[in-house]
Structure formats: structure tokens, C-alpha cells
Amino acid sequence: AQRVTQPEKLLSVFKGAPVELKCNYSYSGSPELFWYVQYSRQRLQLLLRHISRESIKGFTADLNKGETSFHLKKPFAQEEDSAMYYCALLNTGNQFYFGTGTSLTVIP
């Protein structure tokens, strides 16, 4: 069975401070992992995907298969980063599994 865990429901950081949103997964196959974000009054949207190894809006995420983690990081948080963040896993059956989400607040 596949499972995505985001241990922090709420996370607050000061503007300019580093931020890390944690994501752990369990999956017997080779995982494909994603981060989705929902800004206030906006729709859920893709932030970044593991396979692209990209940096979007200053965010990066590294897949650590040994620790089964895919934490989202940004060295200097901005106020516009305040949002709800969801980690998601895609299985080989083309089904997505989402974590429960972390609400990030960046304090000015």
C-alpha cells in the first residue's frame, strides 16, 4: 500500500528564514513524487515534480530513497510563499496519493 505523510499541519517561519516542509512516503515500487500548492482563493496547482529536478519559485525537493523522503526546501522564505502545500505520490497504476497538507505562514 502507498502512503504519504506530512507530519506538520502548520508551519510558521519569519520572512528571510529557511523553510523545510517534510514529506515521507511508503511505496514498494519506484516512486514519482510531486509537490502541489494552493494559495489563498486559488486552485490547487503543481509546484514541482521530482523527475524534472527543477527549482520553482526558489523551492527545491530532493528524493531520498533511503529515508523515503521528499522534503520541500527554500533558503529564504517570502511572504507570498504562505499557502497550503501538499506532497503527492504517483504509483505505477497512474493513481495519485496526496498527503494531508502543511499550511505554511511566512511572518513579515
Partner 1 sequence: NAGVTQTPKFQVLKTGQSMTLQCAQDMNHNSMYWYRQDPGMGLRLIYYSASEGTTDKGEVPNGYNVSRLNKREFSLRLESAAPSQTSVYFCASMLGLAVYNEQFFGPGTRLTVL
Going residue by residue from 44 to 83, which x/- string records binding to partner 1, judged by CB under 8 A?
Answer: xxx--x-x--------------------------------
Q: Give the separation between CA 13 and CA 9, rounded to whole angstroms.
A: 14
The CB-of-61 to partner 1 minimum distance in angstroms stands at 15
User: Which of the stretches 12-20, 57-65, 69-77, 89-97 binds partner 1 when contact is defined by CB under 8 A?
Assistant: 89-97
Q: Give the separation between CA 73 and CA 40, rounded to whole angstroms.
A: 20
Q: In this structure, are residues 26 and 3 in contact, taking their beta carbons and an 8 Å threshold? A: yes
Q: Give the separation between CA 44 and CA 26, rounded to whole angstroms.
A: 23
Q: In this structure, are residues 25 and 89 in contact, taking their beta carbons and an 8 Å threshold? A: yes
Residue type, 26: S
Nearest by Cα to 23 from 100, 96, 92, 93: 100
Question: Binding to partner 1 by residue 86, rule CB under 8 A?
Answer: yes
Question: Binding to partner 1 by residue 30, rule CB under 8 A?
Answer: no
Nearer to partner 1, 45 or 55 (CB): 45
Nearer to partner 1, 15 or 32 (CB): 32
Binding footprint of partner 1 on the chain (CB under 8 A) = 4, 6, 9, 32, 36, 43-46, 49, 51, 86, 90, 94-101
